[in-house]
Amino acid sequence: MSQKRVWLLLFVALLGLFIGFGAGGYLTANRVATAMEQIPASPIVLDTAYDKEQNQLALSMFNPGPIPLRLESYTVTFTPGSETKEAAYVISEIPVQLTLPPFEVVTVSVNLKEHTEELAVGDLVTISIFYTHPLSPDVYSIIHPYTQGASEAPASTPTPAQ
């Protein structure tokens, strides 16, 4: 074999590696993407805001998966802190019936028990949210604890000591 054919052999071997990498990567990527598209994710509560006037909590819920989720209902468990006159209570199975589209954020309004005092600092509200997805008849739940903090008070930026 002449020298030019030896160099050609090396070049062709290298080119074969690239073609194999490209074709194999394409086929594998599609297989992985198809598998990933069938995996439902669990929703994530990104943020909770308390609305004093409505006496309700606004939950920003994010669906990080490719399958739409159906929020069915929620349960609120109120555990009083030291600064409230309200007694502990549970309200359960409040229907929501809200669809959480893939990769989107939806705000869910959680009503606290009617005719109760507004939340005081230190109160703990535990919200259980029940959801379903189309691949299974099961009902899943996530539990989000919310503690009323001092942040609801007028913001007081601490000034650094001189």
Q: Which residues here bind other proteins, judged by CB under 8 A?
A: 2, 4-5, 8, 11-12, 15-16, 19, 22-23, 26-27, 30-31, 34
47 token code pair: 């943020």
Beta carbon nearer to other proteins, 19 or 94: 19
Looking up tokens 């669990």 gives 42
The least CB distance from residue 38 to other proteins, in Å, is 13
Beta carbon nearer to other proteins, 5 or 115: 5
CB within 8 Å of 88: residues ≥ 6 apart:
78, 79, 80
21 token code pair: 């990498």
Single out the residue of 137, 130, 25 nearest to residue 73, CA to CA: 130
The least CB distance from residue 20 to other proteins, in Å, is 8
Beta carbon nearer to other proteins, 37 or 47: 37
Beta carbon nearer to other proteins, 21 or 89: 21
86 token code pair: 């309200």
Single out the residue of 70, 83, 144, 157 nearest to residue 119, CA to CA: 83
